[in-house]
Amino acid sequence: MSGAPASLAGQWIVPVIVIDEASRARDLAEALVAGGIGCGEFTLRTPAALAALKAAAGVPGFVAGVGTVVSPGQLAAAVGAGARFAVTPGFDDEVVTAAQAQGLDIVPGIATPTELGRALRAGIDHVKVFPAGVLGGTAYLDALAGPFPGARFLPSGGVSQGNAGEYLAHPSVFAVSGGWVVPRDAIAAGDFARIEGLARAAVLAAGGVVAGGAAAAGGSAVPSASASAASAGSAVPAAGGVVRA
């Protein structure tokens, strides 16, 4: 099994961002970093998404990615805006091939064993499972992990503050993604204190779960969020965070 995509190494909460005003992006990214989360997936669901991604990409300690990518053209535009990783809602061979050709980290979406098999044949063993909640949650991940023990999952769709820890405790999960940390209304209102608080709460709540899993597996001490950010050249205030590859 390969490690997590390089741009997401040390990240285990990937906020799914829907943003309506690009002018809010820098403050949003800074709030996430202050709360201990060093990345974000700017979904191509609004006209402001690419400009927002570009603005956030300039924030120290923050890894800006693009989500809801459904065509190679969208992927190229996102790369031009500074995206360092891409996430897709489903498995699209053309998008995956385009990302690999450009050296861009990609986490394609899968919902079935057939799609997972296609991803593995394409050389990708870290995939998004979407919509995870509808598909059956961790029980579905168990079912996938049986015949595909080398796959690692990013559950998305139905992940929340209440169940993120359960997902992160699953041995085949490398990170979780969701929008609960970055409510669209909070972004629109410029309520970045709320977003920082949500990020900090998510990191604190999930940190113990991941750390406990590492200890149970006989692993070494897991570095804090500040340590992982420092390895990327920028410091993020520690919020009890730990990392998982």
CA nearest to 151, candidates 125, 170, 130 = 125
Residues with catalytic roles: 41, 128
Q: Among all chains, which residue has been given the structure tokens 């820098």? A: 26
140-168 pLDDT, tens digit per residue, is 999 999 999 999 999 999 999 999 999 99
pTM of the model: 0.86
Domain-by-domain residue ranges, the chain? Answer: 10-231
3-class secondary structure, 66: strand
3-class secondary structure, 69: coil
Q: Domain 10-231 sits in which CATH superfamily?
A: Aldolase class I (3.20.20.70)
- Separation between Cα atoms, residue 95 and residue 75, nearest integer Å: 7
Q: What is the pLDDT of residue 50?
A: 98
Q: What is the pLDDT of residue 14?
A: 98
